[in-house]
Amino acid sequence: MENKIDLTVIIPVVELDGAGQDLFKKAVSSVRGYCDVIAVGSPAAIATLPTVAGCTTVINDGDTCYAAQVNLGVRSIKTKWFSVLEYDDEFSPVWFDNVAQYIANDVDNTFEYMPLTEVVDAKNGEKISYANEAFWASSFSDEIGCVDMESLNNYLNFNPSGAIIRTEDFLSLGALKPSMKVSYWYEFLLRALYKERRVYVVPKVGYFHKVNRDGNMTSQYLESMKQEEIDWWVELAKKEYFFPNDRNKTYEAEMSA
């Protein structure tokens, strides 16, 4: 791509095995040269990364929680915007096409553009649901497509992975604090809205978030849960999904394998 977007994609990483390395390669390749890419992790994690063209690395010698990796990455970049890509997720070209248009116009001094995210079962590739689409329903926000305080109070099932965030705003809102681990993204959305910044959901599917993968945090939780509890959570997720009847999705493999 001749004209790169003024954007850096930050990939927080852990120590990866062969399967994880393949996922990392796919994640980096999905950026397709649209912008800069850096991977941030501990010395041990960086040592396990395969060499992928276009991706540089930042070593974190301190706290290696997810928030710390992101914060160190932001401190290391020079671009006006950044995004966070989970190493087992992927972008699609339509996302970058949309982002280039939005940030070129610098619409309404926006703090963040969130993607309409497709949630995919990592084990069989089937579509499970979409995240962030409720922000395109007028009942969740005063302005369709925009996140506001009321919508955050009523709707917690948002996914900020793949969001395009203004670097300067992120820093001014109190980033670079590794102690923010539990409600990290939610806190930053609240801070941005409190400062009257706009958070906008891009109405195109462009980020593929993979769940139900062996070895991820969810699978670690499931190892300590009884089947009855797993079934209860799955049924609750089905009931809380706002669009159960008009999306091409299945639940057969979800959290049960």
Verdict on whether the full-model pTM lies above 0.85: no
Average pLDDT on 159-176 reads 82
Nearest to 250 by CA among 131, 132, 157, 126: 126
What single-letter amino acid sits at 129? S
Helices (H), the chain: 18-31, 43-47, 66-76, 93-105, 149-154, 167-172, 184-194, 217-222, 227-240
What single-letter amino acid sits at 158? F
- Kindly state the tokens that stand for 169: 């705003």
How many other C-beta atoms are found inside a 10 Å radius of the C-beta of residue 186? Answer: 14
pLDDT tens for 68-126 read: 888 888 988 999 999 999 998 999 888 888 888 888 877 667 888 888 888 887 777 77
Dist CA 141 CA 42 (whole Å): 40
Say what the pLDDT of residue 253 is. 37
Residue 240 has pLDDT above 70, yes or no: no
* Mean pLDDT, rounded, of the chain: 78
Longest dimension (CA), the chain: 54
With a pLDDT cut of 90, the percent of the chain lying above it is 19
Find out whether 33 and 62 touch, Cβ atoms under 8 Å. no
- Kindly state the tokens that stand for 12: 């927080």
What single-letter amino acid sits at 140? F
Say what the pLDDT of residue 2 is. 55
Q: Specify which residues 200 forms β-bridges with.
A: 113, 146
Residue 178 has pLDDT above 60, yes or no: no
How many other C-beta atoms are found inside a 10 Å radius of the C-beta of residue 229? Answer: 12
pLDDT tens for 182-225 read: 456 777 888 888 888 888 888 777 888 877 666 555 555 566 77
Fold of 7-113+144-210: Spore Coat Polysaccharide Biosynthesis Protein SpsA; Chain A (3.90.550)
Say what the pLDDT of residue 257 is. 35
- Kindly state the tokens that stand for 53: 């063209």
Say what the pLDDT of residue 64 is. 73
Find out whether 82 and 6 touch, Cβ atoms under 8 Å. no
Phi, psi of 109 (to 5 degrees): 55, 45
* Owner of token pair 């203004």: 166
* Owner of token pair 């992975």: 161
Say what the pLDDT of residue 251 is. 41
CB neighbours of 236 closer than 8 A, spacing ≥ 6? none
Say what the pLDDT of residue 182 is. 45
Say what the pLDDT of residue 247 is. 53
* Owner of token pair 């395109």: 136
pLDDT tens for 121-157 read: 777 777 777 788 777 776 666 777 888 888 777 776 6
Find out whether 107 and 200 touch, Cβ atoms under 8 Å. yes
Nearest to 82 by CA among 161, 159, 4, 167: 167
